[in-house]
Structure 1
């Protein structure tokens, strides 16, 4: 019997899978849509409005007038605003260097001792500042930094009465005092991230380093630091953003004083917009702050990303 071949074209696997792919994409978009709508409503739209307002001269109520780049020129040339931006970058030294540095030291010391009750108690104590509201932390530290507070009483008790002062009211020490509050708040978060990261490092690397005669510093430098590169990047990113966008701690502890020695961009944006009704200038400062955050964070992300 002669076999009859069909003249109908063959359907490729891709064509057969096309409806499934389209259905999968539709399902994916349905899952993404709620988050995308929320992100657009609470991030993209306000960002676009701030960018629009930054080109206006507007008091928030009356008629707005186009002001061009005048607001940005003011932000980049006004001495007070430049000092305020500089204050935020000074806080980076306290909010970032101290928590990350101490976090690395603590994580290295307690490495391998995080199991059991000791580990649970340590994690709880270290993470406690993150649970306390920033407002409560600011009030508590304001009491401790007061003229009759715990800090001055401790200095008197150890014979350093000449060092006592009203820390948050001192033109020289107010900003470092605020920085110490921020460092205390962020220390627990950085330590927990680094402790979690250090547990992922292969223990055989430490054993091999010890067999090669490495001392604790060499182990830290050649094993711990490279293994924690991504975690360090996350810590630096979070703490830098917290420093540059700080508001709560400064507002509660000093309200930007004395003078403008502790005023930061977040607090000044609030004052310009709601107290002085300079919405355009406040928006321009907000946009400049966002750009500065991105410029500061981008190199950190590049240096600490996984090179593999």
Structure 2
């Protein structure tokens, strides 16, 4: 009787000791699946970024002996008017690359969803076409359109005008980003419960009130995705600006991407270029963090 009373207790002790170990193994198992991607990301993103951060502390032309500069390159980023203006221009492009495309995409998506046209595939193709074109080709095409002998018949090229060059380049970003925002938002509208629109109609809401009180709140996640993609595109803009204006006239369209290129390959100032790139990456992370907090589900 004593033996039979002891054995079950021992079995119970072993059974209760096993689950914590299994739980620990269960927590580590998902990490094994992401480990290959994490190694790849660390090798090609994190390590180069840390190396760039180290180079930014030196004055180096990329070939000769480097000289210790400390924080001098970072001080120059915020005190030099040309470097500082490039950051300002990049943030200004958020209006053209993100705010306008999302606004236009919202309106177009709402109109198309409310009116099931037979030409829907053609409309989607036309709006999404800029996304599949190389940005270098986009820059070349719009540079010709804005030229004096282009199809618009302008008296002089807008890209050579100090007042018109910046908005002219920005509108090209709007043209490129609108198609992506339109498709994202149109797919999101299809996920909104039709009963919400029916309830809005019962309450006497018209099309505009339905748009603001049903469509826009229902597209919170899609708007967040579109804003994330387009804001990063605005801050990292290079191809279109480099092809169309090269940062000119003067510094009116200069952005960090073009400025970094010129610092490295024209001025031979790799340390200053890495400092500007580091500041830009940190500002981008800060903006993305704020956007994620703003669009988080409550």
Q: Structures share a fold, TM > 0.5?
A: yes
Give the total of aligned pairs. 295
- Is 1:263 aligned to residue 254 of structure 2? yes
Alpha carbons 1:100, 1:190 under 8 Å: kept: yes
* Alpha-carbon shift at residue 35 of structure 1 (Å): 0.4
Shift of 1:26: 5.8
Aligned-residue Cα RMSD (Å) equals: 2.0
Which residue, out of 35, 40, 46, partners 1:38? 40
Residue 184 of structure 1 corresponds to 175
Deviation, structure 1 residue 265? 0.4
Residue 146 of structure 1 deviates from its aligned partner by 1.0
Q: Structure 1, unaligned stretches of length 5 or more? A: 154-163
1:235 maps to 226
- For residue 93 of structure 1, the aligned residue among 79, 92, 95 is 95
Q: Is the Cα–Cα contact under 8 Å of residues 113 and 119 in structure 1 kept in the other structure? A: no
Structure 2: gaps of 5 or more residues: none
Partners in 1 of 2:16 and 2:127 — Cα distance? Answer: 55
8 Å Cα contact 1:95-1:182 kept in structure 2: yes
Do the aligned partners of residues 50 and 6 (structure 1) sit closer, same or farther apart at CA in structure 2, a change above 3 Å counting?
same
Shift of 1:151: 2.1
Residue in structure 2 matched with residue 124 of structure 1 by the alignment: 125
Q: CA deviation at 1:122?
A: 2.5
Q: How does 1:1-308 map onto structure 2 within 5 Å? A: 4-8=3-7, 9=10, 10-13=12-15, 15-17=17-19, 21=23, 24=26, 27-113=29-115, 118-152=119-153, 164-307=155-298
Distance 1:245 1:30, change over 3 A: same
The offset of 1:283, in angstroms, is 0.8
Deviation at 1:121, TM superposition (A): 2.5
TM-score by length of 2: 0.92
CA distance in 1, matches of 2:16, 2:134: 55
Distance 2:36 2:248 in 1: 42
